[in-house]
Structure 1
Amino acid sequence: MISQSGPQRYISDEKAYDQLPNFISELGVTKVLFLHGTKSLAAAQPYLPDFGAEVAVEDVLFNGECSYEEIDRVEQIAKKQCTEMVIALGGGKVLDTAKSVTTGTHMYLVLIPTLASNCAPWSALSVHYKENGEHINHEIYKETANLMLLNPEVILNSPIDYFVAGIADTLAKFYESELIFEDLPEDEYTVALTISRQMANNCKDVLLNNAIQAVEDMKDGKVTHTWRTVAETVIVMAGTVGGWGDSYARSTGAHSVHDALTLFPQTGHLLHGAKVGYGILVQLVIEKHFDDINELLPFYRTLGVPTNFHELNLDDISEEDIEKIAYEATTEEKTMNLIPLPITADTVKDAMMQLEEITSRVRS
């Protein structure tokens, strides 16, 4: 097991970005590639300092997907410009692209999240997609970011639906790992695994107790202690779960369902965390943890996390397509197979159908 706890340096403050010029100067960097989206740059621009008079900045607009094509495009620009540092500003796909570009190179990496939608700013892995948004794989790297900067004001002004998706994605840290931890013999627990499991439990407790209020605070434009705790739980605490726990605490069933759903364009408008949220419910049916489902359903309804085919925009889904989702969620390379239970495509199909029955009873 290999633990990578997080970025080498992390700063969370309204003036966090002001640390950039000194950081660049102290490292002797003179050539920077600045990767960002249009909306993320607009959100962060009022807080961004000049990188330094001696620094040549290559400004690169992100194309929207963390695809191998986009990674190759940015890599070629970095090589041509003899880039010494990549600064990535935006959501998870921007940051994951930057991680894929810099891994195994001499380039320093600075990550600046503008959303609290997942733990990408903290983790040492990238999730890769096709240009059309279909999931391909994820890769774990030997390096973590040299610096991660979080400005709460920028996150606060981001779209609410990304924050809700981040809450659902972070809940998966507990539900995807708990059965694995329960199945481990006591003498196999290391300190790293103990930390990982505690952080996973914290993710669940913080979110179930505070997320609804945090969303209301965000709607009101207030950086409250509750909102900031939830936002940093999504980015920081969630990242420590897999960072310390490695394969014992990374994605399992919920993310496998997400990956399969990306094959259906009808779900393309849904964010990563929303589809993971649905996947949590499918996994809980497989595990027969119905009390957990009953606890989560009112929470999901309040936040607008999908719970059934209708809310996934799959009203007219055929049995053949349900079987396709179930098959794709259980192929050999999928993390669904890490769950310590006998699972087949039929298991997943049956779970999805049973979930439809459960959620229809709740609606009625």
Structure 2
Amino acid sequence: MTLQLVSRIAPQEYVSEVKAYDRLADALKARFIKRVLFLHGTKSMMKAAPFLPDLKEQGIDVVDVLFNGECSTKEIQRMIDLLKSEKLDAIIGLGGGKVLDTAKAAGYKAGTVPVILLPTMASNCAAWSNLSVLYKDNGECIGHQIYPQQTSLVLIDPRVILDSPINYFIAGVADTIAKWYESDLLLQQANRKSLALYFAREAARQCLEIPLHSAEKAIQDMRNGQLTDDWTQVMETNVMASGLVAGFGDEYGRATAAHAIHDALTIRPETHHLLHGIKVSYGIMVELIIEGKEDEMKRLLPFYRALHLPLCLADLSLSGISDGEIREIAEVATRPNSLIQMHPMNCTVDTVYDAIIGLEEWAKQNTVR
């Protein structure tokens, strides 16, 4: 299988350390940035504020903007309009994945202005990747867009992320392990020799091995408020290793079936309260059914139980849906523009429908409720 291979490996600069935010003012000055749009959520700003420098005292003008909640076309355009009307030099995004994705989209589309990201959670690789997952204003996922522009700077203060909601961290772990399963067949079947693909596969391997080995302890450390090596390693795996898979591997390292299932689940309002990575973790199990990898499912079962990840429709608040509604999810998952079209097994509506039904039976046989 020959896919596109354009490596967009990493942010231009990445710093993960206690007091990382202290570097912000100097980093802006080094980029000749004098006026910035500062996009953030309410809760994320409350967590980060004690550690942030006063940029105005450093001679940098700040236009403070509260995020509206969705990385949507409307919200992105609002940021673009502000960047242009206020003649701003850069955009800073502080918060979770949707805030960061909005900042990346607006920065690029406003004319490739520099993007600085300050993630306050480790729930996905949004701080690392050069793409945005796009949503309608009602929360329905409509796909993703990749940009040729890398993020200029990422600053992580581990203390801020340690103080973030644990359920977001767990969702990040779930989203991270998907990197291995979604890229596995693509990278195995690559018919080209490339060091970039080797690095992509090794990054994907760490996306599985580090969480399986250390995530449970890291989650407990987070509950105890302890900034340990295990927690730091898992946190950076969520952000860095998961971003490196597609960063090196491009289409060989992209999301496929598990994320396609996530996207399809977003048509059901009952699932909107569930975090991205939680729905993806269900998609992993559907993908493994499609690939006939029951041994791998059994390997993951204790991990899923420990992290309370979903194994059936009931776990997604979808216990009462009909066969027709399940088929509708399968239809959305296999649309022509769906990520599942990247999967090498040529998945059809029936493939996905049968896998969802098959997972229901497997879950009954392998879980105790």
TM range (shorter): over 0.9
How many residues were matched structurally?
362
Q: So what's the TM-score if we normalise by structure 1?
A: 0.98
Deviations 1:252-289 (A, max 9, x none): 00000000000000001100000000000000000001
Amino-acid identity (%): 47
Q: CA deviation at 1:342?
A: 3.2
Is contact 1:85-1:109 (8 Å) kept? yes
Equivalent residue of 2:65, what SS?
strand
- Residue aligning to 1:248: 252
| In 2, Cα distance between equivalents of 1:63 and 1:338 | 32
- Residue aligning to 2:22: 18
Is contact 2:72-2:136 (8 Å) kept? yes
Q: CA deviation at 1:52?
A: 4.2
| 1:1-364 matches, cutoff 5 A | 1-53=5-57, 54-104=59-109, 105-185=111-191, 188-364=192-368
Q: CA deviation at 1:335?
A: 1.5
| Bigger Cα displacement from structure 2, 278-287 vs 337-346 | 337-346
Q: CA deviation at 1:27?
A: 2.2
Q: CA deviation at 1:93?
A: 0.2
Instruction: Give the letter for the 2:87 counterpart.
Output: C
Equivalent residue of 2:286, what SS?
helix
Q: CA deviation at 1:189?
A: 2.5
Is contact 1:21-1:52 (8 Å) kept? no
Equivalent residue of 2:324, what SS?
helix
Deviations 1:190-230 (A, max 9, x none): 01000000100111110111111111111111011000000
- Root-mean-square deviation over aligned CA pairs: 0.9
Is contact 1:156-1:221 (8 Å) kept? yes
| In 2, Cα distance between equivalents of 1:67 and 1:210 | 35
Q: CA deviation at 1:30?
A: 1.4
Q: CA deviation at 1:55?
A: 1.4
Is contact 1:24-1:51 (8 Å) kept? no
Gaps of 5+ in 2: none
Gaps of 5+ in 1: none
Equivalent residue of 2:164, what SS?
coil
| In 2, Cα distance between equivalents of 1:126 and 1:296 | 29
Structure 1 residue runs of 4 or more that deviate by more than 3 Å after TM superposition: none
Equivalent residue of 2:100, what SS?
helix
Instruction: Give the letter for the 1:141 counterpart.
Output: Y
